Each structure stands twice: as C-alpha cells, then as structure tokens.
Structure 1
Amino acid sequence: MRTQKESVRGLDKLDRKILKLLQEDGRMSMKDLAEQVGLSITPTTERVKRMERDGVISGYHARLNPGALGATLLVFVEITLNQKSASHFEQFRREVLRIPEVQECHLVSGDFDYLIKARIHEMAEYRKLLGDMLLNLPGAAQSKSYVVMEEIKETLILSTETNL
C-alpha cells in the first residue's frame, strides 16, 4: 500500500472527479460514474479498484438520519486523564471503542486529552453515558460537556481539490 502522500500525488483530475461523485452517491453504478467522468466502464472501474486497493477509498456506507432513529441529542465531551502515558492512552482507547453511542473520539493537544462526539436519545441517557461510562474510562479525571442546540453543518465529504 502506498503512503498517504504518494496516494495524493498519484491522483489526477479524473480520479478526483470520481471521488467527488462517489462521495455524493456511493451507490452510483459504474456505468453512470463512467458517463459522468467521460470514460468507458472498464477504465473507470480500474481507477476505482486502484483507489480502493491504495486505501484512498476506505469503504462505502449508508448515511442514517439520527432523528429517524431517535438519536436527537448530540453532545461533545472533553475528557482529561489523570495520567499521561502510552499505556493509559491505550487503555482509554480500547475501552472507548466499546461504547456504541460514541461516534468519534480524538486524542487532541491542548487543555484536555480527548474530544468525544456522541449521539443519544435524551438527556437522561446522556447522564448515564457520562456518569456510568465516560467518567469510568481508565484514567478519566475530568470532563466538560457541550450539548448541541442546532446543527449548522455536518458532513463526511472531503474536498477533492488539491493545491499540489
């Protein structure tokens, strides 16, 4: 597998157009994709398979509406650990991966150690998530929560434009 830098450099305008279109509609047929990028099906399919093999395309997913599933409460939580060591970070990582309500968890620099994004059904469920799970994670010493009042923009789409 190529490094990320090699993968980015190896993408031409057609690859980037394919990526843009697939991000907009991951279920698009190879026939439709080929038509939109101006290639025949075989070279389009080969480009997609190459980008999958190189790790540029890491998967295809259905995007679910959280409200339709009742997960209408979005919270961000800052977690500060009481000790900073590789083993503590690894223990924390292992345990947070087991919590299904956590959509994202990032080790960050700054005044706290982790930033967590979670979607849940209601405030009572959040209290349980915070008290029974997040603050019981290995080394968790302190938390600060942010409940989202309005979602302005949320996307998984990455820009395919380049400045290289």
Structure 2
Amino acid sequence: MRELDPIDRNILDHLQQDGRITMTDLAARIGLSATPCTERVRRLEREGFITGYHARLNPHALGLKLLVFVEIRLSAKCEEIFDKVKQELLNIPSVMECHMVSGDFDYLVKARLSEMHDYRKLLSSILHKLPPHADSRSYVVMEELKESLYVTP
C-alpha cells in the first residue's frame, strides 16, 4: 500500500468521526474543493483504506446487554482444523469478532448477547462445533470502559 499524505490522513480522520458528512462539508473542513476531495475519497475506497460506512448501534437499546469474551484452545492444530474452526465461528451471528492469536490459547471470540441463557447456548454451540478436546475460558464483562472503532490514520 502506498504512503498516505497529510490530506488523506485528515480525510480518514474526519470520515471516522462522521461517516455521513457530505463531500462539500468534508472538503471545507480539510481545505479542498469538492471535486478533488471526492476524488481522494474514491481513491481511498478503491485502494482499500476505506472498507465501508456503517451505522453504529447501541447494543443495550437492542437488548444485547451481555458482552462476553471466550478464549478457545485447540488440542490439535493443523490447517484443516483451523479452516473448520474459522468456518464454524464465522457462521455464529452473535459472534462480533474472532481473532486467531498467539499465546496460551488459539482464538479470542467477542460476542454480544441478551442474557446468560444465550451465553450458555453460545458456548455449547461453539464447543459442539469444535474438534474434540477443545478447551475454553470465558470472561463476562461487568462494565464497558471504552470501545472504539477509531484507528489513528
């Protein structure tokens, strides 16, 4: 990927703060006219720096008050097992994030749920779909201190 100049970084910063900003307003904030600003945004999209625009929802307002993290450790590790685990975890709607990590465990899963009963069903579903002898450790979040999607451009 190419190196971003200060104007591109400024555009990315503003779009992260307000993805619904008009190109005219964005151009005014960064000191360009609308046409070159729009061209830069389109180029940033084409080059993969901008991957989408999303509405950020309040999970509590939707009844999803339980946030859990699950560590998963596999007893056997090979490409076939990693692919199977990946496919299974990608198909669980309540899983918001899943990361293959290094260290004492293999995957870190983040899920949002309505209540503890849903958590038990999620854990049962995950363990049922994993290879034999997989181990898990869970953490239920008591208080959310900070959650951000902001990436420093």
TM-score range, shorter chain: over 0.9
What CA distance in whole angstroms lies between the structure 2 residues aligned with 1:137 and 1:45?
46
Are 2:14 and 1:21 equivalent residues in the alignment?
yes
TM-score by length of 2: 0.97
Are 2:3 and 1:48 equivalent residues in the alignment?
no
Runs of 4+ in 1 over 3 A off after TM superposition: none
Structure 2: where are the runs of 5+ without partners? none
Q: CA deviation at 1:88?
A: 0.2
Q: CA deviation at 1:83?
A: 1.0
Aligned counterpart, 2:141: 148
What CA distance in whole angstroms lies between the structure 1 residues aligned with 2:88 and 2:120?
18
What CA distance in whole angstroms lies between the structure 2 residues aligned with 1:103 and 1:149?
18
TM-score by length of 1: 0.91
Q: Read off the aligned partner of 1:125 and give its amino acid letter.
A: D
Q: CA deviation at 1:81?
A: 1.1
Aligned counterpart, 1:63: 56
Q: CA deviation at 1:67?
A: 0.4
Match runs of 1:1-164 below 5 Å? 6-7=1-2, 9=3, 11-131=4-124, 133-139=125-131, 141-160=134-153
Q: CA deviation at 1:82?
A: 2.2
SS at match of 2:73: strand
Q: CA deviation at 1:27?
A: 0.5
Aligned residues: 152
Structure 1: where are the runs of 5+ without partners? 1-5
Q: CA deviation at 1:137?
A: 2.3
What CA distance in whole angstroms lies between the structure 1 residues aligned with 2:56 and 2:145?
17
Please give the root-mean-square deviation of Cα atoms over the aligned residues, in Å: 0.9
What CA distance in whole angstroms lies between the structure 1 residues aligned with 2:149 and 2:137?
25
What CA distance in whole angstroms lies between the structure 1 residues aligned with 2:23 and 2:76?
51
Q: Percent identity?
A: 59
Q: List per-residue Cα deviations over 1:8-31 (Å, max 9, x = no partner).
A: x1x111100100000011010000
